[in-house]
Amino acid sequence: MSNDINSEGGGVVVTKMNDLLNWARLSSLWPLSFGIACCAIEFMGAFASTYDLDRYGVFPRPSARQADVLIIAGTVTFKMAERIKRLYEQMPEPKYVISMGSCSNCGGPYWQHGYHVVKGVDRVIPVDIYVQGCPPRPESLIGAILELQKKIEGESLLGVGKSEKTESPEVTGA
pLDDT at residue 128 greater than cutoff 70: yes
- The Cα 17–Cα 174 span in angstroms is 36
The answer on pLDDT for 173 being more than 70 is: no
Report pLDDT for 7. Answer: 56
> Quick one: pLDDT band at residue 45, thresholds 50, 70, 90?
confident
Cα 164 from Cα 41, distance rounded (Å) = 33
Q: What is the pTM of this model?
A: 0.78
Give residue-wise pLDDT tens across range 16-42.
788 888 788 778 888 987 778 888 888
Q: Mean pLDDT for the chain?
A: 81
Helix axes 39-46, 138-153, angle to 10 degrees: 70
Does residue 3 register a pLDDT over 60? no
At 2 the pLDDT is: 54
